[in-house]
Structures are given as C-alpha cells and as structure tokens.
Amino acid sequence: MLKSWSHCTELKTTVQLMDAMQETIGWETYLTAGTKALGLSRYDDAEKLFQKALMEARKELQDGAKPTGDVPASIADTETTDSLNAISSPKSGYSSASSSESSSDLDCESRSTAANSLVGDNAQLAEIGVARISAKMGELYLVQGKFKESESFLKQALDLFERTHGKDSKPVADCLTEMGAVYRAQGKYSSVEALLRRALTIYESEDSEQQDPLEVATMLGNLADFLRAHGKYNAAEPLFQRALAKRESVLGPDHPSIGPYLHNLALLYHAEGKYDQAEPLYTRAVRMFEETWGPDHPSVATVLNYQAELYRMLGDFARSEKIHWRALKIRQTVLGLQHPSTAQTLSNLALLFHIQCKYDQAEPLYQSLLEIRTKDWGPKHMHVAEVLNSLAEVYHDQEKYSEAEPLYWRAVEIIQENMGHDHPTVAKALRRLAHLYEEQENFSEADRLYRWGLGVSEKALGAEHPEVAELVARYAALQRKLILDDDNDDTTEILWRD
C-alpha cells in the first residue's frame, strides 16, 4: 500500500513539473513573436518581446552553466530518481548490500554524466539564443535609427556567433552585413567595405549545394552600391553585373525583385557617363516598378527623377521636362509638397529651366524650394544656402544685381557658420560675389573678394589645386582689366590736356 502511494506521489510530481514547463514561455516563442512584430513595423511591441526573449535566454544560459550539484531536482535528486527507477523496474525483492552499493554508485555516475551533458547542451542552445536575439535587436534599432544601440547588440551577436558557429559561418556573414549598414548610416565609411567584403567571402565560400544564389546576389548588390556611392565605379560595375545575372538566372528577367538591380546598375552607368548603357536600364526599371506597384507609386517617381536627369545631360530637354513633371505630380500627390523628395524634383526642374535661360519658370520654382528647405531644415542649413546660390544666379544672369547680391551674402554667412571660415565652399561663394561686383564695375570690392577667396582656397586646397588655379585666372583677368582701364584713363587725361 505504501509502495503504491509513493508511486502515485512521484507520478503526480512529474506531471506537475511537465505542466509547469508547458506553462513557461521560452525565449524561442518570444523571439518568433518579436520577429513578426518587427516585420509588421510594430517596433514597440517587437522591442518588448525581444527583451523578454533575451531575459529568458540569459536565464537559461545561467541555469545551464551551473555545476551538476545545482541542476534541478528532477534531474539530480537521488531520492526522486530512485523512486522513479523503482516504478519502472520489473524486478522485486531485496539485493545484497554490496550489490546495492555498486548499483547506487553506477546510478550516481550515470546521472552525473547525463546531467553534465544536458547542462552543456542547454548552455550552448541558450548562448545561440542570446546571439540570435541580439542580432534581431540590432536589426530593430537600425530600422529605428538608433545606431549606437544597434551597433552594441550586433557586436555582441557577432562575438557569440563566431564562438558558437565559427568565424566563417552564415550567421556571422549576416551579422557583418547588418553591421556594415549601421556603420554606413553613421558615416563610418572606412569600416564598411571590409565588413561587406568579409561577408561576401563567407557567402561565396559555401558549398555549391548549400549556397543560395539569391543571398549571394543580395550581398554583391550591397557591396556594389556602397562602392558606387563612394566613386569606386570600376570596382562596383562587375559586382552589379554579377548580382543582376544571378537574380535573372534564378527568377527570370521580369521578376519584380529585378527592378532595383536594374535601377542601381543604371545609376552606376549614369555616374560613369555611360548614358547609352544607362538609358535602357532606366526604361526597364520604370516598366517593372509600374507593373509591381502601379504607375503612381513613389518608387516609380524615384526612377523617373534619375531618368529625367539623364535626358537633361543628353541635351534632350523636352523629354527631361516631361518626365520631371510626371515625377513631381506623383510625389506631390502621394508625399505632399513639403516632402524632401518632392523638393528634390522641384530643384531638378528649376535647374532644367535655368540652363535653358527660362528664368520666368525657374525663378518661382526656386522660390518655392527655398520656402520648403527653410521650413524643413531651418534658415541656416546648408540646403538653404544651396537654394540661395541657385536663386541668386537666376537674378545674376538677368542682371538683377540688387536682388542677387543679398542672396549671395546670406549664402556666404550660412556656409561659414556650417563649414567654417576656411572651407573651400566659402571660396566658391566668394568667387560668385566677386564676379557679381566685377560685372557692376565695382572693381575694388571684386578685388577684395577675389583675394579673400584665394587666401581661403590656397590654405584649404594648396596652390596647385584646379579650383585655386581657376580663381587665380579670374583674379588675373580682373587685374588686366584694371590695368587696361588705368591706361585708358591716362590716355584720356593726356588728350584732354592737349
């Protein structure tokens, strides 16, 4: 009777332990839920879920790292284990004392080995869990623009992944890619290329059977885009081409995901001046974006904006204007007049009219742009200085000197405040003002500004720099003009005396 009661008690205890385990939510569940919340842009929910996941994983890591004597009673408690063994044993009766002691020693040794093995497995799984959660938190904070927090979590994840999976593993490559994005967003460009190249090497070193060509294509595209943005066109071009070829070979030439790759390669050819190669890629990208998102999607307007700029550079102003107006309509309708992308299209249209000397169309666009930039960035931002210079040039070209002069001076003040008094951009602004005064025959003020600009540019760039040479040439031309004017004045005076 006593034996049956003992068996029932142990069974009840085991069931209770199992029920408790089922009621406990593990870190995997929190991680899965947090990942879904991140995908739905529910960032606050994702953060809370990831934090709970991290707390549970660290708790498991601490528990798993304990020595055998501290493992849970269900594993290490001798009395409980003996009772459970008795339940499962088909034998009855009593053994000799020596046999009992020997069996007990073997059981203890077996339990110790199993417990230590379980401790090691749990610790490793929990460590991998901490790495995975840290990587996701790094991704979350990157999306939110919290770059310091993102960098901290990604570094932790990278360290853990290198320890648990090896330095050449795919999780390490994924982490390196995210870190590259964080450093790029922070402007830490010197660290980005090495991270992306290491990640690409890991992706490409995988066995052909395990290698995912689409992942390799994405990595190629990431590195190529960074190189393009930093003017390394020769290095970027073959990477873009390989990325596009891999995607097309797997998905076909008309798959929606091909569009961004076409656009990026078009941008590269555009920047290299290979306009004949860029043009058909822009056309394909526009068509694919329209088919994917519809004709009035902002992504369509982005490609149209660059396509229009390409036609401007080709001198096809009519086509450029038509496409710019379409891009402006999309952006103004979907994003609003005050959106930075809308302002960029306004700026491009104004420049298009300006270079065609259509001042009556360029002027109101620059004025609208100035209002938008001032509202968005404040009256002393460099974006405001850029528009002030452009609007001043429109007035200058029309010989409206009294309207151009104060705008040029405002731009100089903003540039000095933002970039310092000895920055080359200051010299450029002073050159514009000097030219304005020269055209008004205010030679003394022009002379002062040219010399001021020369001092700034020589200090910043060195005497041999092309911009310095150009400024020296302008100043020399002014001096020749002054000498010629002096000679003419002297001749006039002598004739008058005669």
Q: Are 193 and 160 spatial neighbours (Cβ–Cβ below 8 Å)?
A: no
Angstrom distances, CA of residue 454 to CA of 255, 431, 440: 55, 9, 21
List of residues 6+ apart from 236 with CB closer than 8 A: 224, 225, 227, 228, 268
Hey, how many other C-beta atoms are within 10 angstroms of the C-beta on 471?
A: 24
Q: Are 312 and 321 spatial neighbours (Cβ–Cβ below 8 Å)?
A: no
DSSP assigned state of 26: P
Instruction: Tell me, rounded to whole angstroms, the distance of Cα 477 from its chain centroid.
Output: 47
State the pLDDT at residue 338. 84
State the pLDDT at residue 142. 92
Residue 207 burial (C-beta neighbours within 10 Å; 0-12, 13-18, 19+)? exposed
- Cα–Cα distance measured from residue 319 to residue 254, given in angstroms and rounded to the nearest whole number: 26
What tens-digit pLDDT sequence spans the chain (498 residues)?
Answer: 444 444 444 434 433 433 444 446 788 999 999 999 999 999 999 999 999 999 999 988 887 654 443 333 333 333 333 333 333 333 333 343 444 444 444 454 544 444 444 445 667 888 899 999 999 999 999 999 899 999 999 999 999 999 999 999 999 999 999 999 999 888 888 899 999 999 999 988 877 667 788 989 999 999 999 998 888 899 999 999 999 999 999 999 999 989 999 999 999 999 999 999 999 999 999 999 999 999 999 999 999 999 999 999 999 999 999 999 999 999 999 999 888 889 999 999 999 999 999 999 999 999 999 999 998 889 999 999 999 999 999 999 999 999 999 999 999 999 999 888 888 888 889 999 999 999 998 998 999 988 998 888 888 888 888 888 888 888 888 888 777 665 555 443 433 333
Domains within the chain, CATH numbers bracketed: 423-498 (1.25.40)
State the pLDDT at residue 486. 58
